[in-house]
């Protein structure tokens, strides 16, 4: 899980989870410095959320139509959103 570069305080899953949606800055509860998501982490974030959604949407087209895509795609994307905070990195904002 991402930490504050300044004081080493570990951000909570919930803090990062919320900020991942809008690429917002996490404010450190200990030292008050802001940290922003790193550029490579944006790709990780896209990789674990949008890609599974697209994958299921596209592949399921061959097997069944309609709701099946959503049935598999959404939980896959939701799982990605939940694990994303463990994978992304944050660095001190300018
Ligand atoms: Zn800090």
Q: Where are the beta strands (DSSP E) in 1-94?
A: 26-27, 34-37, 90-92
Whole domain around residue 39: which residue ranges? 13-92
Tally the domains of the chain. Answer: 1
Cα 59 to ligand 1 centroid, rounded to whole Å: 44
Kindly state the average pLDDT of the residues 31-52: 93
**Token code pair at residue 87:** 């994978």
In this predicted structure, the answer to whether residue 61 has a pLDDT above a threshold of 70 is no
Cα 5 to ligand 1 centroid, rounded to whole Å: 7
Quick one: pLDDT at residue 58?
A: 76
Domain assignment of residue 2, yes or no: no
Cα 34 to ligand 1 centroid, rounded to whole Å: 8
Domain assignment of residue 88, yes or no: yes
CB 17 within 8 A of CB 85: yes
Quick one: pLDDT at residue 91?
A: 95
Domain assignment of residue 73, yes or no: yes
Cα 29 to ligand 1 centroid, rounded to whole Å: 7
Domain assignment of residue 26, yes or no: yes
Domain assignment of residue 56, yes or no: yes
Quick one: pLDDT at residue 76?
A: 86
Side-by-side strand order, sheet with 34-37: 26-27, 34-37, 90-92
Cα 82 to ligand 1 centroid, rounded to whole Å: 23
Quick one: pLDDT at residue 62?
A: 61
| Alpha-carbon gap, residue 18 to 1, rounded angstroms | 14
Cα 61 to ligand 1 centroid, rounded to whole Å: 47
Domain assignment of residue 6, yes or no: no
Domain assignment of residue 8, yes or no: no
Cα 22 to ligand 1 centroid, rounded to whole Å: 21
| Helix, strand, coil percentages for the chain (3-state, nearest 5) | 55, 10, 30
**Token code pair at residue 83:** 């694990």
pLDDT-based confidence at residue 67 (cuts at 50, 70, 90) = low
Pick the most confident of 3-7, 17-21, 48-52, 69-73: 3-7
Domain assignment of residue 4, yes or no: no
């Amino acid at each position: 899980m991402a930490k504050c570069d300044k004081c080493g305080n570990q951000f909570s899953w919930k803090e990062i989870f919320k900020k991942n949606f809008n690429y917002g800055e996490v404010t450190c509860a200990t030292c008050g410095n802001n940290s922003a998501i790193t550029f490579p982490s944006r790709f990780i974030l896209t990789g674990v959320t949008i890609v599974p959604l697209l994958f299921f949407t596209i592949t399921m087209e061959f097997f069944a139509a309609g709701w099946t895509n959503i049935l598999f795609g959404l939980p896959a994307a939701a799982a990605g959103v939940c694990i994303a905070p463990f994978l992304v990195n944050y660095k001190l904002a300018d």
